[in-house]
Amino acid sequence: MSERMSNEAVVERGLDALGASGVGAGEVFLKEARSGSVEIKDGAVENVIARGERGIGVRILDAQRLGFAHSSDLSEEGIVACVEQAKRMSGVTEPDADLGLATRPLDDVDLDIFQRGLEDRAVGEFAEVALAVEAAARQADPRVTHFRKTTASHAVASTIIATTTGVRATYRESYTGAMTSAVATEGGERQIGYHGEAARRFGELDPARIGRRAAERATDKLGPKPFKTQKLPIVLDPWMAMDLLRAIAPLFSADNVLKGRSLFAGKVGQGVANGKVTIVDDARRPQGLRSAPFDGEGVATTTRTLVEAGVLRGYLTSLKTARKMKVEPTGNARRGGYGSPSRIGPSNYFMAAGTDDAAALTNALDRALAITSLLNLHTIDPVSGEFSLGATGNYLERGARAFPVQGITIAGNLTHLLNAIVGVGTDLVFGPGGLGSPTLVISELSIGGA
């Protein structure tokens, strides 16, 4: 077998090849991941997937022109070929005076994001998690009759970044998650409910809670009644609120701001949301699902308040955009894997907890619609901020559930939505992808229906 080089040796060879290629500066990013998932069906394991992956991404900055190439071929020749491709790519792009590679040494920080041995756990342990999810869903409500898909998964990854400008750092992380789509049946009707959660450590997943939430999502939708086109206050539980919070994230991107694609351009120091709203991006949250010591460019990550009591405080930046804005980089150049270029995005990104009890907020509303699922979130246009989504919900009177509705739409603009958040609960919850939110009350949205 071809001798397998260690990750460190691969990075070393990459730096050597960069040195030999005569380019101005370069960076080698390596990621190795081992992951797996177990899917169950009818109480038994159906699919077991084991995945191993390793590759490098090489960026070259030559005469202020950036080139990028990635490869899974980590033989000597493969590494050299990857560097040559990156050099070739740097000849295609146009120069930008603000481009740069990381130069500052990184601090040593333990974010508690790695559990040793997670990848060596037996398939049976993950199968047990998935089975416990389904058992809890069935136990929660006898109308839960089927599951579209239930899985338990895990991943362990190592990331190394090294630049010819003197930055070299590494970290390891682990991840485990479980999800299910439970199906509830009543009469001839069927409804589906999804819920998934993730953690950095195996023992921190709560399969019973995942099953119960999915069951509740499904049974909540049974027996819908027609709903008239109208305007109503909207209640978003933390999980639904996270979906809309995710859609707002691109507005904070310095790249979008600089290129005229963000409604937040030129708004720092101004009110962009209701005074009850505080939004934070914290890449250093202990055990956070998006926590990391450095970003995809090798810049130290930070904790940032993006919106403070309704006022926009700043943007998420990369090295280049920070230079253009003449601010400090925030370490938000995120990279999905070795093959993905850096793109500005949030880390652990959440709406801070408010001061109101969630139930009291809802009880105070004469009539309201509590959203239970949203369709088409991926079509929200962050440029215009406009959203028009399919929805299901519970119609509430003084906080009590009157009946469920489906086949409706909710529509608005993200910037108006932020200003219309009139209630923020104390019940902050973090979900998959590092998102977090408490219960939110929106003063009013247009609902399309019969």
Closer residue to other proteins, CB minimum distance, 49 or 360: 49
Strands 435-437 vs 349-351: parallel, antiparallel or unpaired: parallel
User: Given the rule CB under 8 A, which of 37-45, 165-173, 290-298, 431-439 is the region that contacts other proteins?
Assistant: 37-45
Distance CA 296, CA 435 (A): 19
**Angle CA(370)–CA(371)–CA(375) in degrees, nearest 5?**
170
Query: Does position 128 bind other proteins by CB under 8 A?
Result: no
Q: Which of residues 301-330 bind other proteins (CB under 8 A)?
A: none
To other proteins, the closest distance from the beta carbon of 124 in angstroms equals: 11
Query: Does position 54 bind other proteins by CB under 8 A?
Result: yes
Q: Which of residues 181-220 bind other proteins (CB under 8 A)?
A: 183, 190-192
Closer residue to other proteins, CB minimum distance, 402 or 450: 450
Q: Let me know if 64 is exposed, middle or buried by CB neighbors in 10 A (0-12, 13-18, 19+).
A: middle
Q: How many CB atoms lie within 10 A of CB 391?
A: 25
Closer residue to other proteins, CB minimum distance, 139 or 376: 376
Distance CA 292, CA 112 (A): 10
Distance CA 217, CA 402 (A): 16
Rounded to a whole number of angstroms, the CA Rg of the chain reads 24
User: Given the rule CB under 8 A, which of 9-17, 51-59, 236-244, 432-440 is the region that contacts other proteins?
Assistant: 51-59
To other proteins, the closest distance from the beta carbon of 59 in angstroms equals: 10
The site map against other proteins for 375-394 (x = CB under 8 A) is xxxxx-x-xxxxxxxx-x--
Using the structure block, give the residue that is written with the tokens 């409910």.
Answer: 193
> Are 437 and 241 in contact, with CB atoms under 8 Å apart?
yes
Closer residue to other proteins, CB minimum distance, 12 or 386: 386
**Angle CA(163)–CA(169)–CA(175) in degrees, nearest 5?**
125
Closer residue to other proteins, CB minimum distance, 59 or 304: 59
Q: Which of residues 64-123 bind other proteins (CB under 8 A)?
A: 66-75, 78, 82, 85-86, 88-90, 92-94, 96, 123
To other proteins, the closest distance from the beta carbon of 176 in angstroms equals: 16
Query: Does position 410 bind other proteins by CB under 8 A?
Result: yes
For the record, the structure tokens of 327 come out as 């601010």
Distance CA 142, CA 162 (A): 55
To other proteins, the closest distance from the beta carbon of 279 in angstroms equals: 20
